Amino acid sequence: MMFLQEAPAETFNYMAFGFIVILGTMGLYVLSLINRYRNLERDMELLDEVSAKAEPSTESA
């Protein structure tokens, strides 16, 4: 059996490392977006509550 060229380099680990970084970073960013959005929604709810409580007192004043 004649081998025309040597086998490709064994670089599977590097590939795995590379993809973990790529997909991991993208995933982290998406998670951060979701997280920040949820936090802002909660802030908004809180502000709604506070302003609702403030309303009755300002009306009576």
Partner 1 sequence: MEPIPRNLKILTGITIALFLIALYMVFIYAPREAVMGDVQRVFYFHVAAGWVGAVAFLVTAIAGGVYLAKRDRKWDRVAVASVEIGVVFIFINIVSGAIWARPIWNTWWTWDPRLVTATIMLLLYLAYLMLRQGIDDPDRRARFGAIYGIVAFVSVPITFLSIRIFRTIHPVVIGSGDPTAEGAFDMTPPMLQAFMFSLLTFTFIYMTLLWYRVRLGRLSEQVEERKMEMMSI
Q: Which of 21, 22, 40 is nearest to 32 (CA)?
A: 40
Per CB under 8 A, 30 contacts partner 1: yes
Rounded Cα–Cα distance for residues 30 and 15 (Å)? 22
Per CB under 8 A, 56 contacts partner 1: no
Count of positions on this chain that bind partner 1 (CB under 8 A): 29
Per CB under 8 A, 33 contacts partner 1: yes
Per CB under 8 A, 11 contacts partner 1: yes
Q: Which helix (H) or strand (E) holds 52?
A: helix 12-60
Q: Which of 52, 33, 55 is nearest to 44 (CA)?
A: 52
> Is the CB of 2 or the CB of 5 nearer to partner 1?
5
Per CB under 8 A, 27 contacts partner 1: no
